[in-house]
Chain A
Amino acid sequence: MELDPDDVFRDEDEDPENDFFQEKEASKEFVVYLIDASPKMFCSTCPSEEEDKQESHFHIAVSCIAQSLKAHIINRSNDEIAICFFNTREKKNLQDLNGVYVFNVPERDSIDRPTARLIKEFDLIEESFDKEIGSQTGIVSDSRENSLYSALWVAQALLRKGSLKTADKRMFLFTNEDDPFGSMRISVKEDMTRTTLQRAKDAQDLGISIELLPLSQPDKQFNITLFYKDLIGLNSDELTEFMPSVGQKLEDMKDQLKKRVLAKRIAKRITFVICDGLSIELNGYALLRPAIPGSITWLDSTTNLPVKVERSYICTDTGAIMQDPIQRIQPYKNQNIMFTVEELSQVKRISTGHLRLLGFKPLSCLKDYHNLKPSTFLYPSDKEVIGSTRAFIALHRSMIQLERFAVAFYGGTTPPRLVALVAQDEIESDGGQVEPPGINMIYLPYANDIRDIDELHSKPGVAAPRASDDQLKKASALMRRLELKDFSVCQFANPALQRHYAILQAIALDENELRETRDETLPDEEGMNRPAVVKAIEQFKQSIYGDDPDEESESGAKEKSKKRKAGDADDGKYDYIELAKTGKLKDLTVVELKTYLTANNLLVSGKKEVLINRILTHIGK
């Protein structure tokens, strides 16, 4: 069946009308990768991760972009990208400027969504580069050629596409030349510097951000102060932090988690009724929803063209095709009770779609099993109702202060639900927001959704075994040893999803090998094998199982029933040995055969013949 990816991520009961309220935030990126292809990029090398091997700066830049593209195509496949080399021998750009080469593949605009072919051919760029594009310094004093200036111009022209309101526009500039005009005569240098900076500033004024990814020589660090600090507009504070952060930036580009990035959108606009005569406006966001691999399109297996699914309702009595049948039936009391679709939706409509405050409770009343589905995040909005934010913040603070949560009834889901509104304070770390401030709406189960399993496992009048103080102490030691420090809830990548993306990439790009995906959810074996950990586990085990760890004692009913079974067989109706001698075992039923097997602690699996043979072997002994 066809699934719209956004549909899947939507709160199931969202009202489609609310889609019109999508927040108008940049939902798309336009990116131009500018790669310096000067000879210096080829001759400068860095030691690679594999020892004894040197990688050229050009290689580093290109492979970084290749990795980034592979993540990009999955994470944000709507983004449009362009790849542009400068300091090239050949030229290829709309402005026909020298020394600038916009790399592209057929069936694609120069700035466009990435395609498998682009990635595939870009993966091989280093082999063909010299022949097709060529490296040549493009900043020439005499001719006033300035390839950096041209490159910025070309990139800016590419980024004319798309509205700033809906898109972020960025350039990534890879170079190892920290002083592009260093060798010029002073007057020429000043002039070129000025015009180039102005070009960059023009681009920035148009809302394009320029990000520099400088590559340092092993012996000489890239000196940002010579020229580029002005180009990217760093102030002195940022300057000191800039270079150390570069390595991380490159790594980040390469090692992006393959994850479909979704636009921030208001899932639902909610009216929160605090009391009669006071309602405020909230926006609901789906910040946590299970990620899925994206939509499935069914294709015709012979042509690989998409097939269209058509659903039809057929009356089994007459074979007539029906329009959406509107009648539903429920068999009840020997008759078929008929409901129209409209009636059924009326039944479900028991309140307005509002969120109604009912009261407050201490946080301890919210149990761990009071959960049904992912929560919805609420944040106030003064857009339509002025004063909403103030009331929201006041309640938010009070709830945090008093350690209470609000109970409310939310009519916006089917079925409407009782919800817990739990205030969450903002949590920041390293300057980033870990938890936004707001209220999380937790959907509570109804009485009949909760099952009483405890009761099922209690044995009236028989005290359940409880841990002794020593066992508790050992458990405590174990827990301290096995503590995951700095654990963060979402630190694990979804192993099945990552594998799926790896498969998709391998097939799309005709790669021979499947990219290895690591299952991060497996226990840390190394950590588990640390002697202290092993010892703590051993001691805990010892305290529970005693010296004889393999002997798990059976307790309660099961043991009794087993014994009884064994007993039954002892005074069984049959003389098995006699039957075996006369070959009459086959006249017994499987159940009867199993009685013997159970009584003698033999396996009871297999077909009848197998069972008979097993008994014969046993008697034979």
Chain B
Amino acid sequence: MARNREGLVLVLDVGPAMHSVLPDVEKACSMLLQKKLIYNKYDEVGIVVFGTEETGNELAREIGGYENVTVLRNIRVVDEVVAEHVKQLPRGTVAGDFLDALIVGMDMLIKMYGNAQKGKKRLCLITNAACPTKDPFEGTKDDQVSTIAMKIAAEGIKMESIVMRSNLNGDAHERVIEENDHLLNLFSSNAIAKTVNVESPLSLLGSLKTRRVAPVTLFRGDLEINPTMKIKVWVYKKVAEERLPTLKMYSDKAPPTDKFAKHEVKIDYDYKVTAESTEVIAPEERIKGFRYGRQVIPISPDQIETLKFKTDKGMKLLGFTEASNILRHYYMKDVNIVVPDPSKEKSVLAVSAIAREMKQINMVAIVRCVWRNGQSNAVVGVLTPNVSERDDTPDSFYFNVLPFAEDVREFPFPSFNKLPSSWKPDEQQQAVADNLVKMLDLAPSAKEEVLKPDLTPNPVLQRFYEYLELKSKSTDAALPPMDETFKRLIEQDPELISNNKSIMDSFRGSFEVKENPKLKKASKRLLRDKPSGSDDEDNRMITYEPNENKIDMVGDANPIQDFEAMISRRDKTDWTEKAITQMKNLIVKLVENCTDEGDKALECVLALRKGCVLEQVSFSISAFALKTFSNFFFHGVFLHM
């Protein structure tokens, strides 16, 4: 087995109590194997099931005992058969002993690899750990487990136990469960072993790390407090998005008779001098240009190279600050973890001291980092403490990137207090909301935290691999519907809803919403159809729909709109003049005809004046007004004009 290969034994509980969740176990394991087929196809896998009627394992044959443990598959390179196999796990009939099964699995790993391949041997147990284990021939169970754990540690086997308990009933089991949990804990403290407790099928799917990525350090070097004090640290990615595999493009151009066709597609980039011409330049004849106002300024690679911002590798402390100064939503990227160099005991201590004290007094550190020499930029980020809960794990920091001044877009939003009161909840509504926030609880103290990111699988990946499997069997397989288990992720939990039905109902009742009636379908579409960002140079201060812009008369009905529309017409130059003349005439008419329309006349005068200012037409409004209104008592109005 080569360096970067893993030997894995799945130890699966198929006893009667597990039957209800076995479909999910099958899904999780099949996903794991599918990914191995794609990403780690030289990995080797064996499968052990326990709780079966029959017994079939080497230890039973050699020394007896180890009943109801069946080796479904010996450790072999992963292949399509095993991916198939794991989807049809047998349904067992007896309550199995997980310790027996673990020993069988361990024995397989040791026999296969011996002492080699430290850290590359993995034992994965999935059980409800609710069945009693047999007493050992000699000594206590604790002794026995400690011995096994030490053996596992010595052999460099990693162990993970996923304990699935959805709805355990009956207190008869309580003692057994307590004992089993205790035994599993013994593994954790004596070997590289972790136990994950899950309650829902969704968490079960998420609990099995299905993608094996060799951890690589991003940085090894000094965390510099000041030039005299440096702490040796290693930095890894803590979070990195797992994506769909990159699918290659396929060409069907080759004739079907061509047995050697590769069906590959090459992407070519041509750099054309102009869109029309066929003249093409070589990539190295191009030069980068950057916008400067309207122009594009070419900057040669040499100029960039000599002038650009230069960095030196290192992590430098800028200082500490109150944790409350760093709001959570400022974290910009996926997260790194900064661990002390494991070979430097003093660094482990220094990190431990700072991390623990940070947690104690609620402070965080601000650091400036350059991970590689010559990196194009420095990053500023925040170190937050990651105080280990396990005795054998060193304390460390999480590192999150913070934004630069340029990254922040300061847009003001109305304060909630300043909104009209009809938009704000009253006391009763607030109480209803409080109740909802309290009761629609995903982290009840007695139970597992629901939808914990650490245990929530990616539904899209799950679906892709499922589809891939189907397609491998039949090329025209249809896309399977969304897996039921994943409903818990995209919809509210019906149980939670029904338990809180009255709260949900009163929330619905208290907060009525309705479609805005003013926003008719047509206007919605209008909104949509309006091309965005059109900065209409010709748009006047007053804008109208273009079709309305063809007004050529100041009418009686809407004189002001007509006037404004006319004055803003740009198709001929004399519209302005025409508009003004017509407006004047209309005002005179209004004033002469009817005294009630004095207000309207006045509005018209104001519009006329505004139009004149806008159009830079010199026009003595007072002279006009005086002439027109000489018979009327309007002086109060004109004083302020």
Contacts and interface: CB of A to CB of B under 8 A. Distances in A.
B14 to A, nearest CB: 24
A490 B407 contact: yes
A71 to B, nearest CB: 12
B334 interface: yes
B500 to A, nearest CB: 10
Given A387-B514, A448-B458, A519-B378, A316 B437 contact: no
B532 A19 contact: yes
Interface string B296-317: 1111100110011100000011
Contacts of A521: 318, 368, 378, 380
Interface in A283-318: 285-291, 293-318
20 contacts: A264-B411, A290-B403, A300-B273, A301-B286, A308-B272, A317-B263, A320-B253, A338-B250, A347-B467, A361-B449, A365-B449, A377-B329, A386-B515, A389-B424, A393-B425, A415-B458, A453-B396, A466-B352, A467-B352, A492-B405
B531 to A, nearest CB: 8
A452 interface: yes
A414 B459 CA distance: 11
A330 B392 contact: no
Interface string A40-54: 000000000000000
Nearest to A381: B516
Given A162-B537, A462-B392, 7 more contacts: A22-B533, A167-B535, A300-B286, A325-B251, A348-B460, A514-B307, A537-B228
Contact of A359 (B238, B316, B366, B440): B440
Interface in A323-362: 325, 327-339, 343-344, 346-348, 350-351, 356-362
Q: Interface size class for chain A?
A: 35 or more
Nearest to B333: A373
Given A163-B539, A507-B303, A523-B368, A328 B250 contact: yes
Interface in B501-559: 504, 507-508, 511-516, 519, 524, 527-530, 532-533, 535-537, 539-541, 543
B391 A390 contact: no
Interface centre among B286, B366, B413, B475 (most CB of A within 10 A): B413
B320 A116 contact: no
A379 interface: yes
Contact of A461 (B189, B286, B508): B189
Interface string B479-514: 100100010011111001100000010011001111
Interface stretch (A225-233, A473-481, A594-602): A473-481
A346 B404 contact: no
B453 A418 contact: yes
A339 B321 contact: no
A334 B253 CA distance: 22
Contact of B327 (A276, A444, A489, A534): A489
Q: What are the nearest 9 A-B pairs in CB distance?
A: A467-B353, A440-B329, A394-B433, A163-B539, A387-B513, A328-B247, A447-B206, A496-B377, A436-B413
Nearest to B524: A384
B599 interface: no
A289 B541 contact: no
Interface centre among A297, A411, A475, A559 (most CB of B within 10 A): A475
Given A373-B334, A449-B242, A347 B294 contact: no
B316 to A, nearest CB: 5
Interface string A361-374: 11001111111111
B592 interface: no
A56 interface: no
Interface string A425-457: 010000001011110101011111111111111
Interface string B261-303: 1111111111111110000010001111111111111111001
B360 interface: yes
Interface stretch (A213-221, A547-555, A612-620): A547-555
Contact of A422 (B270, B329, B443): B329
A276 B335 CA distance: 35
A610 interface: no
Contacts of A259: 405-406
B437 A322 contact: no
A322 B479 CA distance: 27
Contacts, number: 734
A391 to B, nearest CB: 4
Interface stretch (A133-141, A199-207, A236-244, A564-572): A199-207
B229 A537 contact: yes
Interface stretch (B19-27, B43-51, B53-61, B191-199): B191-199
B490 A356 contact: yes
Contacts of B524: 384
A95 to B, nearest CB: 8
A448 B327 CA distance: 26
Contact of B472 (A304, A328, A332, A358): A332
Nearest to B337: A453
A424 interface: yes
B460 A416 contact: yes
Contacts of B403: 288, 290, 374, 489-490
A472 B319 CA distance: 17
Given A385-B516, A463-B391, A447 B356 contact: no
B55 to A, nearest CB: 31
A251 to B, nearest CB: 17
A572 B562 CA distance: 104
Contacts of B213: 451
A104 interface: no
A13 to B, nearest CB: 12
Contacts of A187: none
Contacts of A285: 411
B237 interface: yes
B309 A495 contact: yes
Interface in B442-467: 442-443, 449-461, 463-464, 467
Given A386-B516, A492-B380, A464 B416 contact: no
